[in-house]
Amino acid sequence: MTTRFQTRTFLLCFVPFSLLLAATFWMAHKFVPATVRDGLHSSLRNSQDAIATIHSTADLQNSHALRDISDNSALQSEILQLISKPEDATLHAKIEEHLRVLGEIAGFDFMMVTLPDGSPLAGVVRRPGNEQDSRGKLAPLDTSLLYRSDSDFRVIGGRTLTTASVPISQNGEKIGALSAGKDLDLTIFTTPVVLVSNGRVIDSNIPQTPFDEITRALGHCTDHSECDVNLHGVNWISVPLQTYSGGYALLSFENVDRAVDPVQTQLKTLFVVLLTVSTLIALLASIASSNNIVKPVAAVVAHLRSAAGTGVLSELKEQTSSIPEIRELADFYNQAAVSVRMAREDLETASLEFVGSLANALDARDQYTAGHSLRVSRYSCAIAKAMQLEPSEIERIRVGALLHDIGKIGVPDGVLQKCGRLTEEEEAQVRQHPVIGRRILEGVHGFAPYLGAVELHHENWDGSGYPHGQAGEETPVDARIIHVADAYDAMTSQRPYRRGRTQDEAIAELNLYAGRQFDPRIVELFVAFPREFLAARALASAEEPELCSEKVS
């Protein structure tokens, strides 16, 4: 006991200091990543500015080339002819060949002519190369598979292309538009980048990571803000490098864990040293402090623990501690022990008086059942002892038997004392008394152990009883015992609608219904009791009330 209390006191001294140290480590652990992240943000912003400048220059160059091609009079003439004869395959082929030649010269991977409303008219796209021609050739494009698009990107056959568009005009009238583009090659970036369209990844240079997985990781992000992302257990920062029309955005990823690791390694080494030294100091100080407190208090605590185990709060013997606070604690404890003992005695007395009053109040309602609860309690105690139950169980059964019919308080007198046969409705009212009894006792603190006996003492062994139809040992032993005792006393008692049966008749009835209505083991024990014991409850015939004229079987 002394060792455990000493340990607790030691922890009270030591833990606050340890928590303070841990909090310091946690703050540093959080501060370092935040600092590194700020640096990463700065680096990413610089990269963003550089990439934006490169894109602006490329767009300008593409626009100049496109304007030169859109001013080609031969191309304009062919477009006008195709507009007037959209089904002419020869004109389609001429425009596609024209676009192919101009595109090869300009170095485009995609070219397309569209109508003024944006509908695709004719186009070419570069096919994959081979060993002889690694770059490949421009070839006709099936424009029926394309859709109208005003964005800076197009996805064709799984390829992503950056595009630019200029109008085609003749004599001041717009006759169409010319679009051109190049394959988007994200491998030119030294850092991981991702191209998204309305939150969905369509291209990425992050190795061995499916687009769908990146899309899910970016699910809580927006295309226009920095965002924390976790891929394969690695923390990244996603920063938008540039946004484009049509809902496209180019995002750059920076590995936060890689940037933070060197700093965290140094900090961990520093804090390990600091923690070791601080812990040693705190340990020595706590041991010294706890020893000064534990010894005079240990005796008091040991007595309290013993009282908690037995449930009896006894007084302490005289304390010889030199600490005034400890002596005062012992005095207050003794005063409390005396008060608790007196209160417990008063409560036990009040509880017993209350149980007896309830039983007497119930029996007083009906002169035919006077003393019934006491007799059932007496029989039930005898059965419980014969079953060699624990004393605490026997006491629980005794009180439960006294209270078993308490629910009849909620049944009208006209039904309980009726001389004739009960109607179905009246029978249903009587069958509610176990449930009513449970409800009454549920509201009384300390009566929970008796609820089963009160509610279930009319359950039958074969499941034909009430209120729940429980069978066999589903019903607690308290209720099964009371069921037998209650039945015997009811059969041998005088009622307004019948005369009481003899001992032999009642015992024969119990034996007949053992295994059906009653627990056979309990019946076997009960019928073995001496006849003198069972006859002690009988009333003299002169005291038995007169029967009603109508008898109920």
User: Can you spell out the DSSP letters for 152-165?
Assistant: SEEEETTEEEEEEE
Phi, psi of 219 (to 5 degrees): -60, -30
Domains of the chain, first to last: 365-543 (1.10.3210.10)
- Predicted confidence at residue 56, as pLDDT, reads 52
The Cα–Cα gap between 490 and 506 comes to 9
pLDDT score of 307 = 66
Interval 282-319: pLDDT, tens: 676 666 655 555 555 665 676 667 666 665 666 666 65
Q: Given this model, what pLDDT does residue 538 score? A: 44
pLDDT of residue 178: 86
Yes or no: say if 26 and 236 are a contact pair by the CB < 8 Å rule: no
Distance of CA 493 to the CA centre of its chain: 58
Determine the pLDDT at residue 383: 95
Along the 553 residues of the chain, how does pLDDT read in single tens digits?
455 545 655 665 566 666 666 766 666 666 556 665 665 565 555 555 545 544 554 554 566 777 778 778 888 888 888 888 878 888 888 888 888 888 888 888 888 888 888 788 888 888 877 766 667 888 888 877 676 666 677 788 778 888 888 888 888 788 888 888 888 877 777 778 888 888 888 888 888 888 888 888 888 887 667 888 888 888 888 888 777 777 788 888 888 777 777 666 766 776 677 677 767 776 766 666 555 555 556 656 766 676 666 656 666 666 555 556 566 666 777 777 777 777 766 765 666 567 667 666 666 666 556 688 889 999 999 999 999 999 999 999 999 998 898 888 888 878 877 777 788 898 888 899 999 989 988 877 778 899 999 999 999 999 999 999 999 999 999 999 999 999 999 898 877 667 778 899 999 999 999 999 999 999 999 999 988 888 754 433 333 333 333 332 2
The string of DSSP codes covering 360-426 is HHHHHT-GGGTTHHHHHHHHHHHHHHHTT--HHHHHHHHHHHHHTTGGGGGS-HHHHT-SSPPPHHH
| pLDDT at 237 (0 to 100) | 84
pLDDT score recorded for residue 382: 93
Instruction: Record the pTM.
Output: 0.42
What is residue 274's predicted lDDT score, i.e. its pLDDT?
66
Question: In whole angstroms, what is the distance from residue 202 CA to residue 292 CA?
Answer: 71
Q: 409, 440 in Cβ contact below 8 A?
A: yes
- SS3 letters for 216-259? HHCCCCCCCCCEEEEECCEEEEEEEEEECHHHEEEEEEEEHHHH
Q: Identity (one letter) of the amino acid at 385?
A: K
Q: For residue 209, what pLDDT is reported?
A: 86
Rg for the chain, CA atoms, rounded: 48
**Predicted pLDDT at 473:** 94
